[in-house]
A and B are shown apart, each in its own frame.
Chain A
Amino acid sequence: MQPLIEVKNLKKYFEINNGIGKKKNVVKAIDDVSFTIFKGETYGLVGESGCGKSTTGRTLLKLIEATSGECIYNGKNILQMKNREMAEVRRDFQMVFQDPYSSLNPKKRIGQILEESLIIHKIGDKNSRTEMTLEILKKVGFQEEHYFRYPHEFSGGQRQRIGLARALILNPQLIICDEPVSALDVSIQSQVINLLQEVQKSFDLTYLFIAHDLSVVRHISDRIGVMYLGNIVEEAQTDELFERPLHPYTQALISAVPISHPKQAREKIKLKGEIPSPLNPPSGCVFHTRCPYATEICQSQKPDMRTFSSGRRVACHLVEE
């Protein structure tokens, strides 16, 4: 498999101003994250709120400027690119957002919203743009007449499909899906998940799928990275990860997911306390404050990301192959 993008040592620190004369605080939203996404796969990024998964997605599109690090696409580091060069990349990288309500301009018709992307990238003329839009609408399950409707006439699931159409219309390589189904009702979620899988096949797409719902991520992803407090703590093939989670956090996270049948008995790993504030993350391993197995070395030394023979990576002192 060929890598599509390689993210190396990505960091994003936010500075918080405490007012004049006071010390500035630094929030380490992403602290040294590296991963590779291969062509045609779905890479899931999972973690609890505040772990930096959404920030990671946004830095790849330069919606948030990264503090340091590289993101190699087609042999070039896109984080260093000037705006003009970046325009090309933006065509290849698209995003589907979480909130189906605020992600569409309420004052524009659906057709106008979709054509806007084409206009920005100066593709086609007026007529061909309309035709491309109608074609893409059909692909995500709408009819021609929906071209003239306004967003408020659609339900959440339908809007999410329009959001997907907006991403697809430029024929991208990579779509970053930021919690695309978490705002939807359960019966609607499956519609959108199925559609995402269908268009992935027909458009030959690569997904970076960001979500907090482990069941959904597991269903759609080929590989998964688990994030905690700005770090990827474990990365593995989906089935491997769920069958034999190695990092204590992954184990706890999986065991916390509600059971799918009342008769099922699963041993739960109880975590102590709550996620520490990223304002002053723990020293050493970021997870040691809640880890049931933490030892002295975990408190003082940050574990390196180690790659095991099957290609899975874990950042934990205690895990042996």
Chain B
Amino acid sequence: MQQVSINTKDLKKRMYAEQRSLWIKRFFYNKMLVFGSLLLILLGFLVLILPFFIKSDPLVMDTVNRFKAPSSEHWFGTDSYGRDVFSRVIYGGRVSIIIGLAVTLISGFFGLVIGVCSAYYRSLDHILMRFCDGLMAFPAILLAIAIMATMGPNSFNVVIALSIVFTPYVARVVRSSAIVIKEQTYIEALKSQGASAWRILALHIAPNTISPLIIQCTFIFADTILTEAALSFLGAGIPAPEPSWGNILYDGKLAIFNAWWMTAFPGVALLLTVLGLNLFGDGLRDLLDPHTNKAKK
């Protein structure tokens, strides 16, 4: 008896190692995914680690050096108050990415719960989905502005507002794939064994919706950063003087003909992040989709 369990442990280890190497191989085969992840890692490093090493404060004003073009001292130049645009873009990126991450996690979690539950319980479905339809009927920005207007602008409220905006999108995607899974025979097999509804939902239906969920989440991440930028740009997001990519762009808009660097650099940073996220999302979809997997095994 003892021997059997040792044997299985060994086997288990070997199998997991094999599985790992297969995943790694598939990952590197997927060029889009590799490029996207590299871009995200690079940006993540710049935005999350760099602030500890750069000396210039993004909030310190220097009225003498207003509207300075990019130079060795100020890599991205200075803005209308003489603040260093480089450090503002880096700090602003931190705010943007943290908000993006928070919104993605929150809306991902609630979207999963709502989606799975409404797929499984038909009576709940009508209520939850009509509610989601209602939320989705408004353009994302308009809804976010409305929520922000009632709650007042600060970064915590931005997270809440955007989570409310994006949860229905996740719930929709999760629900549609959960409905397919619910009809699979293995769910019927579990019911015939007497598994509880909770067990079926949490351990069998939810894990099978993970791939569409993750992919939807990467798009929401990108969307959040853009929407937050738009909110800040419209003055309904992160309040000044705290930098975010959106309100840096807002400040730069006034001087776009005199000081191109104030809009160009945060714009490029935003572009690269969204590009990286979209590449990552598309690549992940290919990686997780069993149909494209068959090709490379």
Contact = CB atoms under 8 A, between A and B. Distances in A.
Nearest to B204: A105
Given A102-B186, A103-B186, A130 B15 contact: no
Given A120-B193, A120-B199, 11 more contacts: A61-B192, A63-B188, A63-B191, A95-B189, A95-B192, A97-B188, A102-B185, A104-B186, A148-B11, A148-B12, A163-B189
A145 B199 CA distance: 27
Interface stretch (A86-94, A269-277, A292-300): A86-94
A76 interface: no
A161 interface: no
A95 B192 CA distance: 7
A163 B4 CA distance: 23
Contact of A102 (B184, B192, B193): B184
B4 A134 contact: yes
B139 interface: no
Contacts of A98: 185
B1 interface: yes
Contacts, number: 72
A23 interface: no
A90 B193 contact: yes
A145 B185 contact: no
A122 to B, nearest CB: 11
B8 A103 contact: no
Interface string A164-194: 0010001000000000000000000000000
Contact of B8 (A83, A106, A147): A147
Interface string B123-141: 0000000000000000000
A58 to B, nearest CB: 8
B248 to A, nearest CB: 43
Contact count band on B: 20 to 34
B8 A130 contact: yes
A116 B207 CA distance: 15
B-side interface mostly: helix
A144 B189 contact: no
Contact count band on A: 35 or more
B7 interface: yes
Interface string B12-47: 100100000000000000000000000000000000
B190 interface: yes
B11, B188, B191, B194: most-surrounded residue (chain A CB, <10 A): B194
A20 to B, nearest CB: 14
B290 A99 contact: no
Interface in A99-150: 99, 102-107, 113, 116-117, 120-121, 127, 130-131, 134, 144-145, 147-148
A123 to B, nearest CB: 12
A103 B193 contact: no
A213 to B, nearest CB: 19
A131 B1 contact: yes
Nearest to B210: A107
Contact of B4 (A97, A131, A148): A131
A17 to B, nearest CB: 13
A120 B188 contact: no
A105, A134, A147: most-surrounded residue (chain B CB, <10 A): A105
A268 interface: no
28 contacts: A63-B192, A86-B194, A90-B192, A91-B194, A94-B192, A94-B193, A97-B185, A97-B188, A98-B185, A102-B184, A102-B185, A102-B186, A104-B186, A105-B204, A105-B208, A107-B208, A117-B193, A120-B193, A120-B199, A130-B4, A131-B1, A131-B4, A131-B5, A144-B8, A144-B11, A145-B11, A147-B11, A148-B12
B194 A90 contact: yes
A166 B189 CA distance: 9
A110 to B, nearest CB: 11
B194 A127 contact: no
B240 interface: no
A97 B11 contact: no
